[in-house]
Amino acid sequence: MAIAAHPFRPELGLGDLIYDLPLDGIEVFNINHQAADNLAAREACRKLKVAELGGSDAHAPSYVGHFLTYFEREIGTEEELVREIRARRCRAITYADIYKS
């Protein structure tokens, strides 16, 4: 399983190199990203047809839970997690998305 974390974050991410890698998913939301970085990551997911994942790179307790990965099915094992990501039956969401009506 290969997931590109913060691919467009300046000086830390892989940038356009992700287009040449055999990825299963890309982190599209991370609290440490700029909005433009998040948009570029989401567009890369669409072009590459890989899973969108929410960030979990929390450097402080207040960062936890801002961005999440929503799975269409219940996950009970590591194998199920891998299968669902590879099948793209997940998407990156924000904490606010949970409470939208």
Give whole-number Cα distances, 9 to 5, 6, 31, in Å.
Answer: 9, 5, 11
The CATH number that applies at residue 44 is: 3.20.20.140
Per-residue model confidence as pLDDT tens digits over 30-48 = 877 788 998 999 999 999 9
**Number of Cβ within a 10 Å radius of residue 63:** 15
Is the model's pLDDT at 16 over the cut of 90?
A: yes
* Host domain of residue 11: 3-98
Is the model's pLDDT at 98 over the cut of 80?
A: no
Say whether pTM exceeds 0.75: yes
Helical ranges in the chain per DSSP H = 35-48, 78-86, 95-98
| Structure tokens that stand for 93 in this block | 């969401």
pLDDT above 70 coverage of the chain, percent: 97
Is the model's pLDDT at 10 over the cut of 90?
A: no
Domain tally for the chain? 1
